Structure 1
Amino acid sequence: MTQFLIIYAHPYDRSFNHAELDHVTAKLTEQGDPYQVIDLYHDGFNPAYDAEELRLFHSGQTHDPLVTQYLTQLKAADAVIFITPIWWNDLPGMLKGFIDKVMKEGAGLTHVVTKTGVKGTLTNIQKTYVLTTSTSPTFYLRFFCGNAVKQVFIGATLKQLGMQHVRWSNFGGITNAPEEKRKAYLEKVGQMAF
C-alpha cells in the first residue's frame, strides 16, 4: 500500500485546482491508499524566510512548527502529488517558499551538499505527480516561456531532492476552457494511475 502526500497550493476553495484535489482524494480513497494533505494556504504557512529561520537553515533546524510537521510527512511518504496553479509562467510564491523553507540541508533531512552538488535524500518518494493549471496554453509554457515547471522544478529541483518517476499534467488555457473540457480533464485526473 502506497502512502501518498498531497501538497496543495491554492487559496480559493472554489478553484479548479480544488476540484482536482477532490478528484485525487476520491481516487486514492477508492484505491484504498492512505493519504495526507498539506494545504499550504489553509495551514497558514508562511513561505518567507525570516532572519532566524535562515540562520538555522544549514544546521537543518527550524523555529517554524509547520516546517517540522511537513518534513515528517515527506519522510513518511512513498509518493507525492503537487496540485498547484502556474502563475506568471512559474510556480506560485507559496509553493516556492515551501521548497525554500522545508527542504532542509543535513543528514536524514531532504538533501546533503557534496563537493559535486546537491544529493537528495528523499529517495523514499518513489512516484511524484505534478498537476498544474495555467491561463496560458501548455504549448506556450513549454516552447515560449522557458518551460520552468519541466526544466527547473521537475528537471532540477525535484531531481536534486531525490524524488523519482515524476509525471507532469497541465490543464492549459483554463480561463477560457468550456465546462465540458473542464469536466473531461477532471475525469482524466480521476482515471490517472496513481
Structure 2
Amino acid sequence: MRVLVLFAHPVETSFHAALHLAMVGALRRAGHEVDDCDLYAEGFDPVLSREERLRYHDLATNRQAVEADVDRLLRAEALVIMAPVWNFGFPAILKGFFDRVMLPGVSFRMVDGRARPNLQHIRSLTAVVSYGGTRWASALMGDPPRKLVRRWLRGMIRPWSPVRYLALYGMNRATEADRDAFLAKVVQAADRL
C-alpha cells in the first residue's frame, strides 16, 4: 500500500520524532511504499496567500502553488498523520497543509452546492498524537484534533475505511514506561494498516 506520512514536529530529538521514525520503519518492514513528508524539514509554507484564497474554487488553477503536495496526497492509499497537540490544536504547519492542500477538486468536490468526499482512494487513516495535558482537559475543550481526524478527515476518505486515533495524553508527566508502551502501540498500528 502507498502510505503518505505527514509528520509535523520541529525538533528532531523529540519523542514525537522517535514515534515518527518507528512508524516509518515499521511501515517499510511491513512492505508498504512510504512517502515520508516531514513538513518542517521540507520547509512547507503553511500560509494560505491572498492569491490562493481567491483561486480556491477555481479547479483549473487552485493547485498551482501546491501541485507537488496535491500529487503526493492523490497517490496515497493510506494517510498517517503524526503530530503533537499544542494549545488544543495541531501545529500551524499541519493546519496550513490542510488549508492549502485539501482543496476543492482534491479532497472534496462541489455537487449542487454541497461538498462531497473526493479522497476515495485513501482506504486507511491513522493519527498518532501526543498531548501535554490530560484526556480530561482535552475533553473539556472538545478535543478539536480528535474531531478533525475522526469526523472531518474520515468524511473525505473511502467510506467504512479504518480510522485509528492513537493518543498519548499527559505527555508532560509521562514516564519512560508510558512512552515505551505508546511507542509499541504505534508500531503495532503500522502492522495493522
Please give the TM-score of this superposition, normalised by the length of structure 1: 0.89
1:174 pairs with 2:171: yes
Equivalents in 1 of 2:113, 2:45: separation in Å?
Answer: 31
TM-fit CA distance, 1:110 = 2.0
Match of 2:137 in 1: 140
Equivalents in 1 of 2:112, 2:164: separation in Å?
Answer: 29
Match of 2:145 in 1: 149
Cα contact 1:120–1:161 (8 A) shared by 2: yes
TM-fit CA distance, 1:148 = 0.9
Match of 2:121 in 1: 124
The worse-fitting range, judged by mean Cα deviation, of 126-135 and 36-45 is 36-45
Amino acid at match of 2:76: A
Cα contact 2:63–2:70 (8 A) shared by 1: no
Aligned pairs (5 A) from 1:44-193: 44-60=43-59, 61-64=62-65, 67-106=66-105, 109-115=106-112, 117-141=114-138, 143-151=139-147, 153-162=148-157, 164-192=161-189, 193=192
Amino acid at match of 1:148: P
Please give the TM-score of this superposition, normalised by the length of structure 2: 0.90
Structure 1 segments (4+ residues) deviating >6 Å: none
Cα contact 1:128–1:167 (8 A) shared by 2: yes
Cα contact 1:9–1:83 (8 A) shared by 2: yes
Equivalents in 2 of 1:170, 1:159: separation in Å?
Answer: 17
Cα contact 1:6–1:36 (8 A) shared by 2: yes
Structure 2, unmatched stretches of 5+, are none
Q: How many correspondences in the alignment?
A: 187
Equivalents in 1 of 2:32, 2:12: separation in Å?
Answer: 24
Equivalents in 2 of 1:154, 1:120: separation in Å?
Answer: 14
Aligned residues: percent identity?
A: 26
